[in-house]
Structure 1
Amino acid sequence: MQLIGILRWLVELGRMDVCAEVLMMSLYNAMPRVGHFHAVLHLFGYLETHPSREIVMDSAYMALTDIPQSEWHEFYPWAKEVLPPDMPEALGRAVKIVMFVDASHASILVTRQSRTGVLIHLNHALIVWYSKKQNAVETSSFGSEFAALKTGVELVEGLVYKLQIMGVPIDGHCDTLVVNPSYVKWNVH
């Protein structure tokens, strides 16, 4: 259990390349077996052989040209963005938010639960990485993808609120990319 705790801190500190694996090992934290211990040692072996992974903060805009654009104003004419009442004036160069969302349907073989994965970029800088098992067991891949998208939207809403409170200007809406475009064909505002 201590080794899992160390791995979880490593993920928090920026080693997102082992995020999904640490999540899978955390599932067996209550009753670990010998095989789980060997898998954790294998993770530490990977980290030892790949010590120089780093997060690059790049302020250049991410050029995404293949995203289908949709306008939902005609369907929701009353909808408007709720801004914080004590929001300071936005100063500086605007940032573009891009979110990548995916779900692996029924990937946890013991419980048949799905996993959600979310990556959120500000310009080219990856600032949020999220991998967690879903609370409910979905009967279809559509349900697991939709649950993953809901989680991603909640993360983006929290990030947008934090940026607005700090006075960071936001360039338009959040471009959302999913693996299967039949699930989502719009941009999250």
Structure 2
Amino acid sequence: MAGFNQSKADYSLFTMSHGSSFTALLIYVDDIIITGNDPASIKSLMGVLHEKFRIKDLGDLKYFLGIEVSRSKRGIVISQRKYTLDILKDAGLLGARPYDFPMEQKLKLTPTDGDLLHDPAHYRRLVGRLIYLTITRPDIVYSVHTLSQFMHQPRKPHLEAVLRVLRYLKGSPGQGLLFPSENNLKLTAFCDSDWASCPTTRRSTTGYCTFLGDALISWKTKKQNVVSRSSAEAEYRAMAHATCEITWLRYLLQDFQVNIQEPAVLHCDNQAALHIAANPVFHERTKHIELDCHLVREKIQSGMITTAYTPSSHQLADIFTKPLGRDSFNMIIRKLGVLNLHSPT
């Protein structure tokens, strides 16, 4: 349409480039974001869309699908303050005492401990709304990931853990992510795993986060599909997940005319996993690992990524693999670029 190309990395994204002029169009059902560096091209596009679909121009982006966008000289901040307050109101916790971190350290929830809830729909509704909140709140991703595993038969300890997450949100409902206005265009990722962390299945938990310069642009917590036989294997699988994310992000950035020449740096705190990734020899310790995990080696050899050892004390992906104590938790979220726009100065 109108000379736009559909992105292969994200089918809802359309871009057009002519010389130095660049315009991007992001579509979700009947909500559209238009941006670019050429106001004349944007105005022309809006004219074409209005002629065909009768669109309504709402001006500069401030609110989109529950996400609030704020601008300053420092950059752009996205948050979900109103959505968070709506969740707290629904749970009756607007006046509750807040917590400093979302989940008790070393907490292990299981599907069988505690009494079944009389109203499981309440639990499912709260967790479902929290899942959408993780779009701008990486600080609760691990907690929500854990709690979403008990939707089938939620029990009293699960609800208590949900209420603790909500009490944490009560302390900073306007917390969000800063995208600095002055930034470099280097891709950096941190990956980690918590070996055999699930007390029921003994599967490990993968966590990773990706930065473009100083801006956090991608993060995830995921239970691994198989049981890992060692911590090195679990970490290697986490590296594979992070490598796939880096590959996708590079394709997406190309659609935005951002061509990254340098290899992305992938930080890992497990020396054995780094050795497996760098060693092309098929040996005893890795022959049982699925072949798709070895894409890490391929991407290293092609120059797309490079690996680096990071001590556990500096591993930012820790927050995506386990519940942390107050000090470690607050230190990591500061480094992730999470801030509270509405905190007193």
TM exceeding 0.5: yes
The equivalent of 2:192 in structure 1 is 102
2:179 pairs with one of 57, 65, 69? 57
Matched, 1:8 2:131: yes
2:235 pairs with one of 145, 148, 156? 145
Structural mapping, 1:49-128, within 5 Å: 49-58=171-180, 59-61=182-184, 95-128=185-218
How many residue pairs align between the two structures? Answer: 155
Structure 1 segments of 4 or more deviating over 6 A?
none
Give the secondary structure class of the aligned counterpart of 1:51.
Answer: coil
Task: Identify, as 1 or 2, the structure richer in helix.
Answer: 2
Q: Is the Cα–Cα contact under 8 Å of residues 187 and 264 in structure 2 kept in the other structure?
A: yes
The equivalent of 2:251 in structure 1 is 161
The equivalent of 2:169 in structure 1 is 47
1:58-86 Cα distance to aligned partner (Å, 9 max, x none): 2434xxxxxxxxxxxxxxxxxxxxxxxxx
One-letter identity of the residue aligned with 1:139: R
Q: Is the Cα–Cα contact under 8 Å of residues 196 and 203 in structure 2 kept in the other structure?
A: yes
One-letter identity of the residue aligned with 1:42: R
1:34-62 Cα distance to aligned partner (Å, 9 max, x none): 1111111111011111223221112434x
The equivalent of 1:38 in structure 2 is 160
Larger radius of gyration: 2
2: CA distance, partners of 1:110 / 1:50: 33
2: CA distance, partners of 1:164 / 1:41: 42
The equivalent of 2:287 in structure 1 is none
Give the secondary structure class of the aligned counterpart of 1:132.
Answer: strand
Give the secondary structure class of the aligned counterpart of 2:267.
Answer: strand
Task: Identify, as 1 or 2, the structure richer in strand.
Answer: 2
Q: Is the Cα–Cα contact under 8 Å of residues 235 and 273 in structure 2 kept in the other structure?
A: yes
Q: More relative contact order in 1 or in 2 (CA 8 Å, sep 6+)?
A: 1
One-letter identity of the residue aligned with 2:244: E
2: CA distance, partners of 1:159 / 1:167: 12
Matched, 1:27 2:149: yes
> In percent, how many aligned pairs have the same letter?
31
The equivalent of 1:178 in structure 2 is 268
The equivalent of 1:130 in structure 2 is 220
One-letter identity of the residue aligned with 2:142: A
1:144-183 Cα distance to aligned partner (Å, 9 max, x none): 1111111111111111111112211214110010122342
The equivalent of 1:75 in structure 2 is none
1: CA distance, partners of 2:139 / 2:226: 25
Q: Is the Cα–Cα contact under 8 Å of residues 193 and 205 in structure 2 kept in the other structure?
A: yes
Tell me the C-alpha RMSD between the 2 structures: 1.5
5+ residue gaps, structure 2: 1-123, 279-298, 305-345
Give the secondary structure class of the aligned counterpart of 1:120.
Answer: strand
Q: Is the Cα–Cα contact under 8 Å of residues 233 and 273 in structure 2 kept in the other structure?
A: no
1:83-121 Cα distance to aligned partner (Å, 9 max, x none): xxxxxxxxxxxx210010001101111111111111100
